[in-house]
Amino acid sequence: MVDAAKNETLAVELRNIDKAFYGVKANSEVDFQLRRGEVHALLGENGAGKSTLCSILAGLYRPDSGEMFFEGEPANFKTPKDALAAGVGMVYQHFRLVANLTVAENLALGHPDVGIRLDQSELHKDAVQLGETYGLGVDPSARIWQLSVGEQQRVEILKLLYRNAKVLILDEPTAVLTPQEAQALFKTMRQMAEEGRSVIFVSHKLHEVKQVSDRVTVLRGGKTVGGVDTADAEPRDLARMMVGRDLELPTRDVGAPPGEAVLSVTDLRVQSDRGLEAVAGMTFDVRAGEVVGISGVSGNGQRELAYGLVGLRNPTSGTVILGGNDVTSASVLQHIKQGIAYVPQSRLGMGLAPGLTTEENLALKAFRDPPYSKSGRLVQSAFRDEGAREVEQYDIRGVRPGLPIRLLSGGNLQKALVAREVELKPIVLIARSPTRGLDVGATEAVRNLILAERERGAGVLLISEDLDELLALSDRLLVIYEGEIVGRMPVEDATAERLGLLMAGQREEASA
Amino acid sequence: MSTRRFIIEPRGLASPWLKLLVPIGSVLAALVVGAIFLALTGENPFSVYSHMVDAAFGTSRSIAETLLTATPLILTGVAAAIAFKMLVWNIGGEGQFIFGAIFAAGIAIWLGDGAPAYIALPLVVIAGGVGGAFWASIAAVPRVYLGTNEIITTLMLNFIALNFMNYLIFGSNSPWRDPEVATFPEGRPIPDATRLPEFFERLDYGIFIAIALAILAWYLLGKTRWGFQVRIVGDSADTARYAGIGVPSKILGVFLLSGAYAGFAGGLFVAGPVGALDPRSLALGLGFTGIIVAALARLNPLAIIPVAVLMGALINAGPSLQSIGVPTATVTMLQGAILIFAVAGEFLIQNRIRRPEKAPKAAPSSGEEASPA
Amino acid sequence: MNDTWVVELAFAAMILGTPLIFATIGEIMTERSGILNLGVQGMMLVGAVSAFWATYNTENLLLGLIAGLLAGAALSVIHAFTSVTLRVNQIVSGLALTIFGTGLASFLGQAGSDPLVGNPSPVVFEPIFTGGIADWPIVGPLLFGHDLMVYVAWAVAGLASYYLFRTKMGLALRAVGEDPASAESAGINVSAVRYAYVMVGGALAGVGGAYYSLKIVPTWQDDPIGEAGWIAIALVILASWRPWRAVFAAYLFGAAERVQFTLQTLGEPWSNIPSTILAMTPFVLAIIAMIVLTSGKRARFLGAPAALGIPYFREQR
C-alpha cells in the first residue's frame, strides 16, 4: 500500500490480478503500482494484456482474482461508473462521444453534479476554463463531428477532468494524432501529473515512452515483465522485454530460389478511414516462390496496405503491378481475376458470409464461372462436389449440409477461408494474421497451406503481428511503422531485439 | 459480473420443428387474443371461429373466393419477402400494387378490343410488374444513390398512390374513368380480351400465374448466379464487396423486383376479379397484408403460397361475420395479432434462454480468440 | 372580419392540427430515443375509441382523455417490449400494432349489444371563452376562441422543447437516440429510457385520437381519424424532430385538410383543384424532406437521430 521508495500512498495498486476470457488468460498474476503525480507507461505488444489491465482499472471488467487498491483503500469497481465516481477514468481508442451533440453537452452527459436544468453558459464557461488550464482548447458549442480527431480526444480528456478524475488512462492516444498534436498531449500529461494526478499511458512506441513517462511497466503474454524508471531504461532492454525470449528459427526447406517479381509496389500511399495517410509511401516487391513477411504492431497501416493492394481502397498515389499488369486503381473483381487472393483478418466479418453454407462460401469467388455456374444458372452439383472435395482435402470439420458456416469453430473457418483462396491458384496471396486465435492443429494446417503456395510458385505477402508466425513462414521480413517500411532483412538476420526496436519506432543506422 | 436468473443468447441453428412451430404458434396465440376480446363483448369464440372456417371453406364458392383473395397475397407476400431478406425495408407494397393496377388497366384500355388475348393478357400482366417497379424506383433510387432511408419513403408513397388512383377516377376525366357512367365515377371496364378467364366459380387463371411467379422468385434467388450474389449481399455487405460483388446494383435490383411483384399482384387483380381501375375494390390493404404473409412464412417464397391461402381464408371469412352480429373488424384484429406474435416469435428462433452455469465455460463453439486484449 | 375565409381557414386548421401536434410530438420523443414507431395510427385509434367510450359512459371529458392516454400507452408497451427487450424488427412490430389497433378500435366500436357506432358523444370540447376577447378581430378567435386542448397542445410543445434541449433528462434522451453505446458508457440506462419514451409517444398518440372522437368527429364511426397517424409520422420528419416545428407543420396540414372546403366556397377556379391532389401533399413533402434533409451536411443538423431504428445490443462495445 505504501510505496517503499517514495514513502507515500500509491494512487493505484494491483496485486496478483488474473483475468481470463473463455479459458484464455489475458492477465496473469499481474502486479502494478501507480504513484501519485506520475506518468506511467504501459508497454507491450498486441495481445500482451495492456487493454485488459486498463479495462479492469477503469471498471469495465472485474478481475477473476487478485486485489485492487485505490488511494490505499480496497477498490471493487462493478461498473465504469463506479470507477469514475472514485476518480479513475479511461480514454478508449474508440471514443465514447455522441457525434451529434456539442462538446458542452458531451461533458454534461451523465455527470452526477449537473443539475436538472442545463445551464449552457455555465457549461461553456467551465469547458473553456478547463481547456485553457490544460492546453486542451475546444469550442464548447461545436458538435463532435465537426472536430478533428485530435480535438475529439481532447474532449474525452476534458470529460475526465470535468469529473475530477485523479487517475487517467490513455489507451494508445497518439495513434490518431499528428506529431504536433502528440507533443501537445504530452505537455498536457505532464501538467496533469504535476498537479498530483496520475496518468497511465499505453503505448508501443519507445520514443514516446522515453519522452513523457516517469516509469515504465512492460507486459508480455499477460504478465508483467518489469517495472523500471524510464530514465534508467535502455530502449534495447525495453524491446527485449516486450518481445521476449530469443526467437528460434524453425528449420524449413530452403526450396527453389525465388523467381521474378509478381507483385511490385512503388511509393504506395493509402488513406485511413479518417482521411489521414495510413500508408505513407511504401516500396517493395514480392517474388514468385517467396514469402515476404511484414511485421509491425497493429495500427501502423497494415489494414490500409492490404486494402490498397486488393482493390478495396483506391490508393491516393503510387503503383501496384500484379503479374505485369497495373492494378493500382482496378476494382476488386478485376484484382481477383488478375490473380490476387486475400485472406483478411476478419473471418466472419469479411472473408466469409456467416449465414451461408460452407460449400457456398467455398465458391464465393469462383461462382461466376464453370463449373459453378453455366449461363447464369447455378450448378448445384458443382457446389456439392467441389465442396465435398475441398472439405475432405483441407480437413474442414463440422460441416453439415445446410449448416451456416458461422457455426464452425475458428480453426475450421480459417481452413475453409484459406482453402478457398488457394484453390484460386493465385499469383499473389496476401494473408493477414492467418493463424490468429487458432489452436495448434489448425495453425499448422494453415501454415502448411501457405508454404504449399510458396512451393507452387506463388508470391506470398504475410502481414502479421505474430513474430513466431512470421519467422516460421517468411523468407524475408519487412518492418512497418507509421505507414513506412523501416527495416528489411532476410529472416536469418532477424532477432527479437532488432525486430522489437524497429516495431517500436527505433530506426537503425543502416537499413537493408 | 451481474447475476441473472437466466441468460438470453443467440441460438446456433434452429431446428426445422421450431421454424414450423413458431408460425403455427403465432396463429394460435392470435386466435386466443381474439377469443378474449370476443368473450369480453359477449360472443362465443368457438362458434365465431367455426362460422369463419365455414365461410372460408364451406362451399365450393367460398373455396374459390379464398383462393381468389390468396392470389394477390402470394405476390405481395413474395414482394415483401425478397425485399426484407435483403434488409431492404420496402413497406410500399400497397402503392406498388396500385400502380401495377394503374399500368395494367391503362395498357388494357389502350389495347382496346382489337388485340387477341394471347398478346393482350401477357402485356397486361407485364404492365403490372412495370408499374410496380416504377413506383418502387422512386424510393429505390434515393436509397441506393443517396442512402435515403426507404422506410419512410415507401410508406409515404403508399398514400400518394392511393390518392392518385382516387384522382384518376374521382378527381378527373382520365382514360381510366368510365365515360358511360355519369352519376357516380367508376373505373372503366377493361376489354374482355384482357381479362383472365375464370375456371372455377369466380376463380381465374391468375392463381396459376401467381404460383408460377412465386416459384420463379424462389428460383431466381436460390438457383441463379444473380440470386447467389443477392444472398451474399443480404448476409454481409462487406463480404460481398470483398468478393467483388457490386452491392448497390444488387440492392437496386432487389428493390425493383420487389416492387414488380407487388405490381403483378395489382395487375392480376385488375385483369381478374375487378376488371377495372376501381378504387373501392383495389384499396384493400393487400400490400400490407402481404407483409403479414411474408412474416408468417418466414420470408420463404414457397411457404408463402399456403400462408397466403390461410390469409385469404381469414379475409374472406370477414364479411360473413356481419350475419351473426360480430364486427368484421375481428379479422383485422386477428391479422395484427398474428403479425405481432410472428415477429416476436422470431426472437425465439434466433435466441434461446438458459440458466447460467457456475463454472467458466470452455472455448465457445466459434473457437475464435475471445480475449479483447 | 372574423368570418373571412382566411380566418375561418386558420381557425379550422388549428383545430384539425391539434391532434396531429399530440401524435407528432409523441412520435418525436419516441424517435429521439432511437425507436421507430409505425404504430401511431393504431394507437390514435384505440385512444379515440377508449376516450369516446369513457366519455360516453361518464359524460366526463377528463376521464375520456385519461382513457385515451392509457389506451395509447398500453398498446405502445407491446412495441417497447418487442423493440427494446426482444430487439426484433421495429418496422414490422409497429405495422402490426397499427393493423391490430385499427381492428381493435373498429371492433370495440361495433361490438356488444349496444354498439358505440353512430352514437354522438354527450360532451365535446367546447371553446373556453365565448364572447369577450374571443370576438376581437382575427386574434380573437385564433388565440382565444379555442377549446382547452388547443392550448394544451401548445403547452405540450413548449414543455417538450424545453425538456429536450434544456434539461439533463432531455440530453440523456437525445444521447440515447444518437449513440446508445456512448450513452450507456456515460451511465444512462438505455433500455429504460427507450421504454419510457415509447410509452410517452403512445400516450400522446392516444390523446390525439381522443381529440378526434371528442371534438372533431364526435359521433363514433369506423374511420374517425383518416390517415392522421401516418401524417404524424411524416410530420416528424418535416419538423426535423423538433417540437415547435411540429406545431407549425401540424397547422399547415390542418389547413391542407380544410382547404378543400374553403376552395369550394371560393368558387371557380379554386374549387376545381382536386381534393385528392391536396391530400397527397403531406406525403409528397415528407418524401422531399427525407431526401433533402438526410443527405449531406444538412443531415447532421436537421436529420434523424443517428441510431433510429437500430436495435441496441448492450454486449457490443
Give me the residues paired with residue A284 across strands. A265
Q: To which residue does cell 463454472 refer?
A: B359
Is the Cα torsion angle C234, C236, C237, C238 positive or negative in sign? positive
Count other C-beta atoms under 10 Å from residue B346's C-beta.
Answer: 20
Residue A168: which of A180, A156, A183 has the closest Cα?
A: A156
Q: Is the pLDDT of residue B215 over 80?
A: yes
Q: CB distance B329–C103 less than 8 Å?
A: yes
Asked if B148 has any chain C CB less than 8 Å from its own CB, the reply is yes
For chain A, how long is the longest CA-to-CA vector? 81
Q: Is the pLDDT of residue C315 over 70?
A: no
- How far is C73 from C84, CA to CA, in rounded Å? 15
Q: CB distance C113–B332 less than 8 Å?
A: no
B/e letters for B113-128, b = 16+ CB within 10 Å, e = fewer, are eebeeeebbebbbbbb
Residue A268: which of A286, A280, A259 has the closest Cα?
A: A280
Q: CB distance B153–C290 less than 8 Å?
A: yes
Contact present, A483 and A277 (Cβ < 8 Å): yes
Q: CB distance C290–B152 less than 8 Å?
A: yes
Whole-number average pLDDT of chain A: 87
With H, G, I as helix, E, B as strand and everything else as coil, classify residue A33. Answer: strand
Report the pLDDT value the prediction gives residue C296, as an integer from 0 to 100. 62
Residue C197 vs residues A309, C15, C32, C307: alpha-carbon distances, Å: 48, 26, 8, 15
Q: CB distance B343–C92 less than 8 Å?
A: yes
- How far is B166 from C274, CA to CA, in rounded Å? 10
> Could you tell me the pLDDT band of residue C281, with boundaries at 50, 70 and 90?
confident
Tell me which residues of chain C, numbers 108 to 127, contact chain B at a CB-CB cutoff of 8 Å.
Answer: 108-113, 115
Q: CB distance A24–B228 less than 8 Å?
A: no
Cα B195 → chain centroid? 23
Would you list the domain boundaries of chain B? Answer: 69-306
Q: CB distance A410–B368 less than 8 Å?
A: yes
Report the residue of C32, C163, C168 to disrupt the A interface, i.e. the one with the largest count of A CBs within 10 Å: C168
Half-sphere exposure of C239 (CA within 13 A, CB side): 32
pLDDT > 90 in chain C, percent: 53
Contact present, C276 and B164 (Cβ < 8 Å): yes
> Could you tell me the pLDDT band of residue A60, with boundaries at 50, 70 and 90?
confident
Contacts of C97 in chain B (CB under 8 A): 336, 340
Q: CB distance C283–B337 less than 8 Å?
A: no
DSSP C40-74: HHHHHHHHHHHHHHHHHHH--HHHHHHHHHHHHHH
The three three-digit cell numbers of residue B211, written as one number:
404460383
Q: CB distance C182–A115 less than 8 Å?
A: no
Instruction: Provide the residue type at C101 as one letter.
Output: G
Predicted TM-score (pTM) of this structure:
0.87
B188-191 LR contacts (CB < 8 Å, sep 24+): B188/B105, B188/B109, B188/B276, B188/B277, B189/B275, B189/B276, B190/B105, B190/B108, B190/B109, B190/B124, B190/B270, B190/B271, B190/B275, B190/B276, B191/B108, B191/B109, B191/B111, B191/B112, B191/B113, B191/B120
Instruction: Provide the residue type at B117 as one letter.
Output: A
Q: Is the pLDDT of residue B362 over 50?
A: no
Q: To which residue does cell 412495370 refer?
A: B130
The three three-digit cell numbers of residue B253, written as one number:
435490383
- How far is C194 from C35, CA to CA, in rounded Å? 7
Express each pLDDT in A202-214 by its tens digit: 988 888 888 899 9
Instruction: Provide the residue type at A341 as one letter.
Output: A
Report the pLDDT value the prediction gives residue C1, as an integer from 0 to 100. 54
Of B347 and B172, more confident: B347
Chains in contact with B, where contact means 3 or more Cβ–Cβ distances below 8 Å, are A, C
Residue C174: which of C160, C187, C164 has the closest Cα?
A: C164
- How far is B307 from A58, CA to CA, in rounded Å? 53
Asked if A81 has any chain C CB less than 8 Å from its own CB, the reply is yes
H helices of chain B, in order, are 16-40, 45-57, 60-85, 93-111, 117-146, 150-170, 206-223, 225-235, 237-242, 247-269, 279-282, 286-296, 301-320, 329-350
Residue A25 vs residues A17, A42, A55: alpha-carbon distances, Å: 11, 18, 15
- How far is A329 from A314, CA to CA, in rounded Å? 6
Q: To which residue does cell 463449373 refer?
A: A371
Contact present, C140 and C232 (Cβ < 8 Å): no
CA distance from start to end of chain C? 63
Is the Cα torsion angle A158, A159, A163, A166 positive or negative in sign? negative
> Could you tell me the pLDDT band of residue C314, with boundaries at 50, 70 and 90?
low
> Could you tell me the pLDDT band of residue B365, with boundaries at 50, 70 and 90?
very low
Residues with Cβ < 8 Å from A337, sequence gap 6 or more? Answer: none
Contact present, C124 and C215 (Cβ < 8 Å): yes
Does residue C269 have a cis peptide bond before it, meaning omega lies within 30 degrees of 0? yes
Q: Which fold would CATH assign to domain C5-302?
A: ABC transporter involved in vitamin B12 uptake, BtuC (1.10.3470)
Tell me which residues of chain B, numbers 340 to 369, contact chain A at a CB-CB cutoff of 8 Å.
Answer: 360-369
Whole-number average pLDDT of chain B: 87
Q: CB distance A23–B363 less than 8 Å?
A: yes
Q: Is the pLDDT of residue C204 over 90?
A: yes
Report the pLDDT value the prediction gives residue B1, as an integer from 0 to 100. 39
DSSP A317-347: EEEEEETTEE-TT--HHHHHHHTEEEE-S-I
Count other C-beta atoms under 10 Å from residue A457's C-beta.
Answer: 16
Query: Environment class of residue A164 by beta-carbon count within 10 Å: exposed (0-12), middle (13-18) or buried (19+)?
Result: exposed
With H, G, I as helix, E, B as strand and everything else as coil, classify residue C179. Answer: coil
Asked if B224 has any chain A CB less than 8 Å from its own CB, the reply is yes
- How far is C57 from A291, CA to CA, in rounded Å? 85
Q: CB distance B236–A411 less than 8 Å?
A: no
Would you list the domain boundaries of chain C? Answer: 5-302
Residues with Cβ < 8 Å from A273, sequence gap 6 or more? Answer: none
Asked if C102 has any chain B CB less than 8 Å from its own CB, the reply is yes
Of C301 and C21, more confident: C21
Give mean pLDDT, residues A56-75.
86
Contact present, B289 and B79 (Cβ < 8 Å): no
Give mean pLDDT, residues A31-46.
86
Residues with Cβ < 8 Å from C42, sequence gap 6 or more? Answer: B336, C75, C97, C98, C99, C100, C101, C102, C104, C105, C229
Tell me which residues of chain C, numbers 30 to 69, contact chain B at a CB-CB cutoff of 8 Å.
Answer: 36, 38, 42
Helices C90-110 & B329-350 angle (0-180, nearest 10)? 150
- How far is A216 from A432, CA to CA, in rounded Å? 30
DSSP C118-152: TPBPS----BS--SGGGGSSSHIIIIISSBHHHHH
- How far is C211 from A377, CA to CA, in rounded Å? 59
> Could you tell me the pLDDT band of residue A251, with boundaries at 50, 70 and 90?
low
- How far is A124 from C149, CA to CA, in rounded Å? 38
Does residue B142 have a cis peptide bond before it, meaning omega lies within 30 degrees of 0? no
Express each pLDDT in B288-331 by its tens digit: 999 999 999 999 999 999 999 999 999 999 888 888 888 889 99
**Phi and psi at residue A6, in whole multiples of 5°?**
-105, -10
Asked if B228 has any chain A CB less than 8 Å from its own CB, the reply is yes
In this prediction the ipTM stands at 0.88
> Which range, A463-472, B20-29, C21-30, is most confident?
C21-30
Strands A73-74 and B203-204 come out as unpaired
Q: CB distance C294–B147 less than 8 Å?
A: yes
DSSP A463-501: EES-HHHHHHH-SEEEEEETTEEEEEEEGGG--HHHHHH
- How far is A461 from A478, CA to CA, in rounded Å? 10
- How far is A139 from A135, CA to CA, in rounded Å? 13
Give the chain A residue whose CA is nearest to the CA of B246: A333
Report the pLDDT value the prediction gives residue B366, as an integer from 0 to 100. 34
User: CA angle C65-C67-C68, nearest 5°?
Assistant: 65
Range scoring the smallest mean pLDDT among A496-500, B128-132, C189-193, C215-219 = A496-500
Residues with Cβ < 8 Å from C27, sequence gap 6 or more? Answer: C37, C40, C201, C205, C232, C233, C236
Q: Which of C168, C178, C185 sits opposite A101 (nearest CB)?
A: C178
Residue C21 vs residues B156, C15, C24, C208: alpha-carbon distances, Å: 19, 10, 5, 8
Asked if A116 has any chain C CB less than 8 Å from its own CB, the reply is yes
* Structure letter (DSSP) for residue B352: E
Express each pLDDT in B225-277 by its tens digit: 999 999 999 999 999 999 999 999 999 999 999 999 999 999 999 998 988 89
Give me the residues paired with residue A39 across strands. A199
Residues with Cβ < 8 Å from B271, sequence gap 6 or more? Answer: B104, B108, B121, B124, B125, B128, B190, B194, B195, B196, B206
> Could you tell me the pLDDT band of residue A253, with boundaries at 50, 70 and 90?
low
DSSP B128-184: HHHHHHHHHHHHHHHHHHH---HHHHHHHHHHHHHHHHHHHHHSS--TTB-TT--SS
Q: Which of A101, A115, A143 sits opposite C168 (nearest CB)?
A: A115
> Could you tell me the pLDDT band of residue A230, with boundaries at 50, 70 and 90?
confident
Give the chain C residue whose CA is nearest to the CA of B145: C295
